[in-house]
Structure 1
């Protein structure tokens, strides 16, 4: 297995495992985000012009509630095997 192919195999395996997991936490986070965004919009509904504070708070809400999954490799290695080693 070549290194690039091995990395793709690991990535595809991890994606398939993640897809099988329960994602209700992400749906709940989306609902809370919508609720807080509606509240934020209510506070700024009387403001006519673009407001930097509004945009900052909106971005902070997005970062807080938007579901994210990060995958990173911490450690790895290459093993070269010959037929005699098996």
Structure 2
């Protein structure tokens, strides 16, 4: 199993969480300021050797959960919605 390389300048997971919430319809889209965050989210992908949707979804969930706010019970539904909508998108 191979994950895409981790970028030297990764994006803050809380920024990614907030921006992904916005494009999932649970907040403001963030506009151009969210481009680096959403680009980073979609760069998290697993290929073994083809795109592995379940592993990619888990990788993205694990990354978002490194944001302390994503682990709050009231945000669990939002985290699940983000992963349900975007977790397996290549």
Q: Is TM-score (shorter-chain normalized) higher than 0.5?
A: no
Give the TM-score taking structure 2 as reference length: 0.31
Structure with greater proportional strand content: 2
